[in-house]
Amino acid sequence: MRAPDWLIARPIAHRGLHDRARGVIENMPGAVDAAIAGNFAIEVDIQASADNEAMVFHDDDLDRLTTCHGPLAARTADELKAIRFRDTTERMMSLSDLCARVAGRVPLVIEIKSRFSGDHRLLQRMAEILCRYDGPAAAMSFDPNLVQALRSILPSRPRGIVAERCPDEADWNSLTPAQRRSMRGLRHAFRSQPHFVAFAVDQLPAPAPWIARHLFFCPLLAWTVRSPAQRTHARAHADQIIFEGFVPPDWPIPPLKLPSRSTILTQAADRDPDQPAASLPFSRKSDFRARNGSPRTDNRGRARHFRHRRRWLERLRQSVARDLPERLLFRI
């Protein structure tokens, strides 16, 4: 299964299109409605309540964003739905509430928050909900074991890995050294087999996401883009952005795509023999030959050149997937 085109068709609003200055808090119904109105895809976080309901909320504790205190996991879904967000009248949603609210109008990208404990009950609950949901939705997590479990629990939905170059900061101090090593450089990729990668924008470019994108054709999402400058940087290295703090002014950005073989042949056949070679696709080698007195003007030779080029790239991809050791392929 390949990641679907809708995953990168539009920018993805991080935790909805929120703006605390206007009273729109992340992951709350108003942020979801604002993203739908802007025709953006929506990224949300889910965590398990005490009765294993999938609740749309980012933090482990309720203190920062709500009028209550303490860990989210200590309360039932009914108790959590009764809690108000700070400075608003809105309340927390479950994943079922979110799906009913979005109703397939824009794509959902659901990040599964993990305690890296091997507990898959939240995953099972999410799968039950998404099996009844007809809209476009993808799941992702920092935890490679959860992504691997998605292969069997929810094979019909795209799955992705959220990653950064060195997961050694305070946020990951509860992980064992072995867990941190498995996360570094996407070393788990051959067992987790993600359909897409979401990587920290400030750490791009990096070898592991480059390999995933260019050799294994996994779409690359850049998170979290908070300024036009970061957006420009992300465009050079990723397929789409997960953004917050500003609204992309001119989306969708058309992806940078190589011309197809038929386009190349059509342009070559229609070209005026006196036209400079530099105006054709992949003209660098043609320019070199022209400077050395041997311009390539045979259209059949040009087609053969590009056919061999594509075959070589495919053989390289297969060889890397088969032979290169995991520790070397995803080494940073």
Q: Is residue 255 part of a domain?
A: no
CB 58 within 8 A of CB 73: no
pLDDT at 330: 43
Q: Are residues 189 and 308 in the same domain?
A: no
Q: Are residues 31 and 99 in the same domain?
A: yes
How many whole angstroms separate alpha carbon 306 and alpha carbon 282?
Answer: 9
User: Which structure tokens are listed for 141?
Assistant: 């997590």
pLDDT at 250: 66
135, pLDDT greater than 60 = yes
Q: pLDDT: is 295 or 234 the higher one?
A: 234
Q: Other CB atoms closer than 10 Å to residue 37's CB: what's the count? A: 11
Q: Are residues 265 and 239 in the same domain?
A: no
Q: Helix, strand, coil % (nearest 5) of the chain?
A: 40, 15, 40
Confidence of residue 168 (pLDDT cuts 50, 70, 90): low
Q: Are residues 230 and 272 in the same domain?
A: no
CB 33 within 8 A of CB 99: no
Question: What's the average model confidence in pLDDT over 90-114?
Answer: 96
Q: Is residue 248 part of a domain?
A: no
Of 169, 204, 163, the closest CA to residue 185 belongs to 163
pLDDT at 309: 66
Residue-level length of the chain? 332
Mean pLDDT of the chain: 82
Q: Are residues 201 and 267 in the same domain?
A: no
pLDDT at 294: 45
Q: Could you give the 3-state DSSP secondary structure of residue 275? A: coil
Q: Are residues 283 and 164 in the same domain?
A: no
Q: pLDDT: is 284 or 164 the higher one?
A: 164
Q: Is residue 48 part of a domain?
A: yes
Residue listed under structure tokens 């099996």? 131
Mind listing the pLDDT tens digit for each residue in 33-70? 999 999 999 999 999 999 999 999 999 999 999 999 99
pLDDT at 302: 59
Confidence of residue 329 (pLDDT cuts 50, 70, 90): very low
pLDDT at 41: 96
- CATH number, residue 183: 3.20.20.190
Q: Is residue 253 part of a domain?
A: no
Task: Check the CA dihedral 137-15-243-101 and report its sign.
Answer: positive
Residue type, 150: L
Q: How many domains does the chain have?
A: 2
Q: Is residue 64 part of a domain?
A: yes
Confidence of residue 223 (pLDDT cuts 50, 70, 90): very high
Q: Are residues 73 and 108 in the same domain?
A: yes
User: Which structure tokens are listed for 205?
Assistant: 């470019």
pLDDT at 299: 54
- In degrees, rounded to 5, the angle at the alpha carbon of residue 115 between the alpha carbons of residues 44 and 197 is 50
Residue 209's alpha-carbon distances to 112, 237, 316, in angstroms, are 20, 9, 17
Rounded to a whole number of angstroms, the CA Rg of the chain reads: 23
Q: Is residue 98 part of a domain?
A: yes
Task: Identify any residues that bridge with 112 across adjacent strands, giving them in sequence order.
Answer: 46
Which range is least confidently modeled, 57-61, 75-79, 134-138, 279-283?
A: 279-283
How many whole angstroms separate alpha carbon 173 and alpha carbon 21?
Answer: 32
pLDDT at 46: 98
Q: Are residues 122 and 219 in the same domain?
A: yes
pLDDT at 146: 95
224, pLDDT greater than 50 = yes
pLDDT at 266: 58
Q: pLDDT: is 123 or 117 the higher one?
A: 123
How many whole angstroms separate alpha carbon 177 and alpha carbon 166?
Answer: 12
Q: Are residues 62 and 136 in the same domain?
A: yes
Q: pLDDT: is 26 or 302 the higher one?
A: 26
User: Which structure tokens are listed for 311?
Assistant: 């075959």
Q: Are residues 68 and 145 in the same domain?
A: yes
Mind listing the pLDDT tens digit for each residue in 174-220? 788 878 877 888 989 999 999 999 999 999 999 999 999 999 999 99
Q: pLDDT: is 203 or 115 the higher one?
A: 203
314, pLDDT greater than 50 = yes
Structural domain including 287 reads 261-329
Mind listing the pLDDT tens digit for each residue in 118-128? 899 999 999 99
pLDDT at 175: 80
Which of 211, 243, 275 marks a domain boundary? Answer: 243
Q: Is residue 254 part of a domain?
A: no
275, pLDDT greater than 50 = no
Q: Are residues 129 and 183 in the same domain?
A: yes
Q: Are residues 216 and 129 in the same domain?
A: yes
Share of the chain above pLDDT 90, in %: 62
pLDDT at 185: 84
281, pLDDT greater than 60 = no
Mind listing the pLDDT tens digit for each residue in 228-257? 999 999 999 999 999 999 999 765 444 444
Q: Is residue 309 part of a domain?
A: yes
